[in-house]
Structure formats: structure tokens, C-alpha cells
Structure 1
Amino acid sequence: MAQLELILIFVLQFEGISGRDFFLYKRPGQEAVLSCTTESSSPPTCSMVDWLYNRNHETLAEVRNGNVGQISARAARLSVNTDCSLVINNITAEDAGQYTCRQGRDTSTYLSVLTISPSPPDADPKRDGNVTLQCSLFICDPPWLENSIRWVDETGAELLGEGDGYRVLQQTDCVSFLTVKRQSGHNRKYTCQLVDEQKNVKIEADYPPDFNGVSPLSYVMWTVRVVGLILMVVITVLVIRNKWNTKPLENDNNVNDGADVQYENVEARPAAARPQ
């Protein structure tokens, strides 16, 4: 009985120290906000908050007493909000791992990053031929994620086994491969999805990112640049034409100041006779 009480006390103490765990899923280039929640009703004191990063059994202190460590290779992409949450900008696969907010009670967030890439990496999606797509999840936690990657086409239909123009290879851990036949001129898109046990999509990534290889934002920016260039040309032509039409005549000093000038016709007269 005494041993049971000791075990119960140990478990309660461990729960009080460990706090809560969160799971976050992102794609490269996105922004992640890692919460540092506490059950205390008082506002957080960020000057006493540390953020620890753990991956591959190595722990690094990214934030000390609310300040981002400048020796960190990611210092330019890290910041701390007023609620002590950690913000990571322009996420990469190397950012995946466990982040722990230490503020009395530890709060851990497991950040997983989903990537999709062709093999070879420089494969042109607009050319004919076969290409193998690799979908990877960094990090693979919790354990149910091990077989949670699925592929769908542009219609949303799940790709299983082998079919018309594709073949799904066996999934290992949190990496899945899909071999597809590229056909130029066809708007084919393949999506890698991370789903939970209820088949709810947690995050997904597309290949290619856009059918035409140009994102909607890039297209809009390109259109704005073209319109701006046309307007500049039109304005320049109008300004030059206006200056030309209002240009003063040259040699103004030789022009009469407005006085009327009268002209008289002069005829030749016969010479007068000399007196004898």
C-alpha cells in the first residue's frame, strides 16, 4: 500500500511538471506560432521564459529569459510574442522537432514539416516522361503518423497501388513515393496529404505547386508591372507632345513686337528731260 502511494505521488508530481503537449503541422515557407500556455490567471512574464529545441537527442536553448539567442543560426527567423509564444518565420524542414516552453510548468510543441519534391530535384513538370515524387514528414510523432500519408489527384480521388499513369510505392515510416507519367499540355496535379486516424487532413502539399508553374500572386504582380510600364510610356509620350506643341518660336528677337508695317508699291518712273 505504501509503495502504491509513492507511485501515485510520483505520477502526480510528474504531471505537474510536464504540463501539456501540442502538435503542429506546417509546410516549408510558412510561419509557425508555438504557444506557451499556462493555467495561471496572471499575465505571463516573458522575461522568465526559456524556449528549448530538441531534435536527434540534442537540446539547444533558442530563447533565454525571453530573448532570442543571437548565436542561434535561426536567430533572424525567431521572435517572441507578448504572450511568450515562439514565432518561427519561413519554416524549413530543419525546423522540425520538439520545442519546450519553460515557465514554471513545461509546455511542449512537436513541430512537423511536410515536404514534397521530385526526383531528380530539377525535374521539369512540363516535360513528358516519368518522375518519382517523394513526400516526407519531419518529424514523425506521434506514432500514428507512420502510415498516415496518402496521395490524391487533381479531382481529389485517392491513388492506391498502380493505375493509369501512376504507381504508389510502399510507404516507409513517414516517407511515401509516387511515380507518375508526366504529359505536357495536361493539367495534372498530385497532392500529398497527412491524415489522422479519422482521415481528417492535417496538412497537404501539391506537385506541381501550380499548373502553369506560376502562382496566382506572381501572376498578379506580373500584370501590375506590365500595366505600370504601359502607363509610364503613355504619360511620357503625352508630356513630350505637350512640350512640343507649346515650344516658343526661335529667334523671337527678330520678330516685330506687334507694330503694323505698311508696304507701298513703287513703280519705275521715266527720267525727267534735261533743260536745253
Structure 2
Amino acid sequence: MVLLTFLLILVLQCEVGLSETEHILYLTPGNDVVMPCDNVPDTCSRIIWAYSRSESQTIIMVDNGIVEKNSAQAARLSLHSNCSLSINNITAEDAGLYSCRPEGDDDQDTNVYLNILTISAFPSDADPKKDGNVTLECSLFRYYTTSPCNSMRWVDETGSVLLDRGVKNTGRTCVSLLTVKLQSGNKKRYTCQFEDNNTVKIEAHYTPVLIDRSFLNCIMWALRFAGLTIMIVIMVLVIRHKGRKKPPEDINVHYVGDRDEDTVNYENVRNRTADPELD
């Protein structure tokens, strides 16, 4: 009898444990995500979606199947017919815990942990035409928790592990810094990976955009030569135009007689001499 009671308690505990489900998602900014709701009721009008960055901050995003318009993410949210929640064009600020709960069923939650991995370069205004050092920052945004950051590492395009400056845990964010030297013509790619239980869950890439200075110099010389050629052509055209333009001669039209009105005589004023018969 005691054994039967023990087994019954164990079965009930397992059923309660299975009533709440969890999903852990890893994404990079700019993607779209669909978060499942496992314990779907007959209609989504009984569904509530809540969002939490920490245990003390919870926001209702979907209430009774309707997206809350006051939510900062409202324009990017949509509820599917199966009660799953979509977020378009995710950002680092979307990281956190999302809970789907049928109204009145506190033990039927579906918890989705959304983790966002980002890479930033500092200084962000580094001149792409110059070589120099740049610090890469890889950040994993997640639900605030005291759990460790597990493993973050940097690798190059060959897969070789690079020496970083360690991983810092700020609670909601795991941060890893890597300082690299950028060189023109050196097409390197740096990848930040996040591992859990020796499995890469997510990775993000950074490829420097550098301008080859030798190629840039060729372009500059070509532009200078083209500009000089255009100036020379313009000067030649101006000189030719001035050479063709001559001052007009002063032509005087003199009508001879009164009877024949159609007869005219053209004389050059410069060569005209006094003629008493015409006066």
C-alpha cells in the first residue's frame, strides 16, 4: 500500500512537471521569430502572452487573444491561429522570457526564453581606409538570471580559436571582448560563438569593410587625369571658337534712282569715294 501511494505521488508530480513546457531560442537581430504556445485551448480568445526582462518586470503583450496596442512591440507582434506569437525584425531589447498562458490555468504555461546575440565594433567610426586596432564586443542578451554564461568564444575564418579578454556576466547580458588589428587587403572574418553543453547554440560574424589603398590611389589618379583631359579639351574649343569669330564689315545699302525700286547697289563704306553725281 505504501509503495502504491509512492508511485501515485510520483506520477502526479511527473504530470505537473509536464504541464509547463519550456523553449530556449537563440537568434540574431533582424530575424523574425515565432514562439509556440503548447497548451492551446479551444480558442485563442482565452490566451494571455506576457513578457519579462526580469522577475520584477512583467508586461502583458496579448490579453484574451488581442495584441495590446500600448506595448512598445505592438507594431511588430501578431498572433497566429494556433495561438503562437510572432515578432518581426527582432532587436536586442526583445530578449527575455515570454509566457503563454490559457486564462485561469496557472499550471499550463508555455515559457519561451528568447536570447539575442549581437556583435559591435569600437570605435564605430573607424576609418575604413586606415589600418588600426578595433575592439569587437559580442553580447548575448537574455532573461535576467544568475546562471553562468557558459561558454563564449571567438574563432577566425579557419576555425582557430582566438584569445579574447574573457567573458563578463552582467546578469542579463554575457559579454566577450576581442581586440583585432585591421589591415587593408586582409580579408578576415571573426565569429563569436555561444556554447551550451559543448554545443554551439548560436554564432554571429563580423567581416571588416576595408578599402584597398592601392586600388583607391589608382582611382584617384584616374579621376585627376580625366579632370585634366576635360580642362584641356575645353580650352582648345574656346580658342578655336574665338579664332573663327571675325568682326562684320559695315555694309551700306544705296538705292539708285526712283523708278526702279527693285534695283539696289551695295557699297563698302570703307572704299567709297566722293561721287558728285550721286549726291
Deviations 1:125-164 (A, max 9, x none): 553100100000001678776131110111122113xxxx
Partners of 2:153 and 2:143 in 1: how far apart?
15
Partners of 1:44 and 1:176 in 2: how far apart?
45
C-alpha change, 1:106 and 1:124, in structure 2 (3 Å) is farther
One-letter code aligned to 1:32: V
1:110 equivalent to 2:105? Answer no
**Matching residue of 1:172:** 168
**Matching residue of 2:187:** 187
Q: Where in structure 2 are the equivalents of 1:32-111 lying within 5 Å? A: 32-38=33-39, 44-56=42-54, 57-103=56-102, 104=105, 105-111=108-114
One-letter code aligned to 2:69: Q
Deviations 1:250-271 (A, max 9, x none): xxxxxxxxxxxxxxxxxxxxxx
1:52–1:101 CA contact under 8 A, matched in 2 = yes
The structural deviation recorded for 1:15 is 3.1
The structural deviation recorded for 1:49 is 0.6
Partners of 1:101 and 1:88 in 2: how far apart?
14
2:51–2:58 CA contact under 8 A, matched in 1 = yes
Partners of 1:16 and 1:204 in 2: how far apart?
31
The structural deviation recorded for 1:108 is 0.3
2:48–2:63 CA contact under 8 A, matched in 1 = yes
Alignment partner of 2:168: what SS? coil
The structural deviation recorded for 1:122 is 2.7
1:116–1:206 CA contact under 8 A, matched in 2 = yes
* RMSD over aligned Cα atoms: 2.9
Q: Please, which runs of 5 or more residues in structure 1 have no aligned partner?
A: 161-167, 214-276
C-alpha change, 1:140 and 1:154, in structure 2 (3 Å) is farther
1:115–1:135 CA contact under 8 A, matched in 2 = yes
1:93–1:115 CA contact under 8 A, matched in 2 = yes
Alignment partner of 2:197: what SS? coil
Q: Where in structure 2 are the equivalents of 1:93-242 lying within 5 Å? A: 93-103=92-102, 104=105, 105-124=108-127, 127-139=130-142, 146-160=149-163, 168-173=164-169, 174-198=174-198, 200-208=199-207
Partners of 1:126 and 1:147 in 2: how far apart?
37
Q: How many residues align?
A: 198
Partners of 2:195 and 2:145 in 1: how far apart?
12
The structural deviation recorded for 1:82 is 1.2
**Matching residue of 2:230:** none
Partners of 2:81 and 2:201 in 1: how far apart?
28
Larger radius of gyration: 2
C-alpha change, 1:159 and 1:67, in structure 2 (3 Å) is same
The structural deviation recorded for 1:201 is 1.8
1:144–1:196 CA contact under 8 A, matched in 2 = no
TM-score, normalisation: structure 2: 0.63
1:30 equivalent to 2:31? Answer yes
> Which of the pair is proportionally richer in strand?
2
Partners of 2:161 and 2:42 in 1: how far apart?
46
The structural deviation recorded for 1:107 is 0.4
One-letter code aligned to 2:132: G
